[in-house]
Structure 1
Amino acid sequence: MVREGRLLLTRRAGDVYGSGWWALPSGRLEPDEDVVTAAVRELDEELGLRVEQDDVVFVGVTHALPPDSGARIGFGFLVSRWTGEPTIREPELCSALQWCAPDGLPERTLPYTREIVRLHVQGEHFSRPGWPPSIPPHPAVRASGAR
């Protein structure tokens, strides 16, 4: 969610990963649900916002390996048009909302949220923080054009 160049963050609450930390609105996929449908559903469930699928714009994907939990895949989307006013609809999972400039995120912002914001700001579309560096392909593979 972006309004006047500021991103909407939620402070996670309850018995969830990153409780007490700031994050972009997010959630899990339901069975047989694609990521755009999930984004639209989560924005309605968490914040009471109605968003059209055509207004969900892909930003990037991060496949993060945090030192304190298992691997996570985060799809980042930018939404700048919606109906309604953001409201906390799941207080057991969200304790506050805050609009922040991309370069002014709170200190306690989840690392994968920072990474999605970084991808957006820098115009990149993929990252894999926390994983070992990639091994370059064998020279014979590069020369043959094989993938």
Structure 2
Amino acid sequence: MRVRDEPRSPVDVLALVLREDHLLLTLRAGEIYGAGWWALPSGRVEPGEDVVSALVRELDEELALTIDEADVTFTAVTHAKPPDHEARIGFGFAVRRFTGEPTIREPDRCADLRWYPLDELPTRTLPYTGEIIRLYRQATTFSRFNWS
């Protein structure tokens, strides 16, 4: 029996879309969490959907990229607790092979997209994104980000 007040954390997928030594970041915009910050392409896992399918769907919806599930590589997971938002669980996946050129398909949520060298991220990188990138760069697969 499930208790209605049982705590729940949304599950997100975050894509490390890589081209050589560069990483694709999107500038969040509009009425969404983190507007004005650079972030990995990401989204929530929908009911009945697994994390890899969610990642493939999100990259198509947001950026017009077609990904084969076989080209998605798990990198890390973090249980993150942003100071001004609900706790969430984020699965990071690396994608090096894709079809299409990244295109903004949701201009109400994304103002820009750019390729950044992995070691030269913008100052205003969303901390949740920064944690997944840090885990990837350090070849670490798990963190409890921002829990005291």
TM-score range, shorter chain: 0.7 to 0.9
Alignment map for 1:48-127 (pairs within 5 Å): 48-127=64-143
- Give the structure 2 partner of residue 141 of structure 1: none
Segments of 4+ moved more than 3 angstroms: none
Deviations 1:90-127 (A, max 9, x none): 10110100111121111111001110000000000000
| Deviation digits for residues 72-106 of structure 1 (CA, Å, limit 9, x no counterpart) | 21110000000000000010110100111121111
Q: Which residue of 2 aligns with 1:25?
A: 41
One-letter amino acid matched to 2:139: G
Structure 2 stretches of 5 or more lacking a match? 1-16
Larger radius of gyration: 1
Amino acid of the residue matched to residue 35 of structure 1? V
- 2:70 aligned with 1:43: no
TM-score of the superposition, structure 2-length normalised?
Answer: 0.87
Q: Which has the higher strand share?
A: 2
The number of residue pairs the alignment matches comes to 132
The structure with the greater share of residues assigned to helix is: 1
1:5-56 Cα deviation digits (max 9, x unpaired): 1110000111100001000000111110000000000000000010000101
Identity across the alignment (%): 64
- Partner-residue secondary structure (3-state), 1:27: strand
The separation in 2 between residues aligned to 1:72 and 1:106, in whole angstroms, is 23
Distance of 1:129 and 1:41 partners within structure 2:
26
